Amino acid sequence: MIRPGTDDRGKPLARETAFAYECHACSRCCWNKTIQVNPYELARLTLALECDLQTLINCHTVGGNRLMQSTDGRCVFLGEEGCTVHAHRPLVCRLYPLGRIVNTEGERFMELQPHPRSAGLYGRDGTVGDYLRSQETEAYMVAADVYFRLYLDLAESSQLQNEKTLEHEQDLAALLLDLQGTVIETCADRGAPIPGTLEEMVPLHAEAIRSRVLGADH
């Protein structure tokens, strides 16, 4: 393993691209970062903290959309010995030091600029795909893509209706944030079984939101 170089930084990477990274838990990447979270990640964090969703949102996030920071820039979940929710950490933390971009051209990855005193070591004895698997990113990326498409659909619907806000904006926000609650309510209304895992709940959650906001045809 080697210290980070600059040859590939800024260049798009594919899953087959040679890449390796070894984290030495210096925690320098856990400061002064905007960590956005989606409903799946919120649900995972409630498992880590063994708390209800509203407590998580009120005590650890800003509006349910991003993680809080302390006044000195420390992530709300950074403890004296490192990440206190590591097993349920959000996708952006799992991907680091990579960033992921998904658009009409497909998926690509980018090397991020590391902290100048990062203890992490880079190498080329693996691939981007190997690194993603080692960080258990797949379920998080699937959920991220589901919610990204949902948000695009909701934004397009709002523009087509020429409205700045939807009629029941607060109710919609609550439905969007509460993956488990919305799915359980939807299944009860339909007389359908509740999916057994959060991963299985994600597509049903998105479909339920589309149905309520955009109509059954969506």
pLDDT tens digits, 161-194: 544 454 456 678 889 999 999 999 999 999 999 9
What is the per-residue pLDDT for 169?
Answer: 64
Give the mean pLDDT of 66-92. Answer: 97
pTM of the model: 0.90
Locate the domains of the chain by residue range: 18-136, 140-214
- Amino acid code (one letter) for 185: E
Dihedral pair phi/psi, residue 13, rounded to 5°: -120, 145
Nearest to 117 by CA among 34, 26, 30, 32: 26
CA distance to 76, 128, 147, 179, 182, per residue, from 203 (Å): 29, 26, 9, 10, 12
Give the separation between CA 46 and CA 49, rounded to whole angstroms.
5
Tokens representing 111 are 């090397």
Is-contact 88 45, C-beta < 8 A? yes
CB < 8 Å & 24+ apart, contacts of 117-120: 117/26, 117/28, 118/4, 118/26, 118/28, 118/29, 119/24, 119/25, 119/26, 119/28, 120/4, 120/21, 120/22, 120/23, 120/24, 120/26, 120/29
Q: pLDDT, tens digit, for every residue of 100-148? A: 999 888 899 999 999 999 999 999 999 999 999 999 999 999 999 999 9
Is the pLDDT assigned to residue 218 strictly greater than 70?
A: no
Give the separation between CA 123 and CA 3, rounded to whole angstroms.
8
Is the pLDDT assigned to residue 13 strictly greater than 90?
A: yes
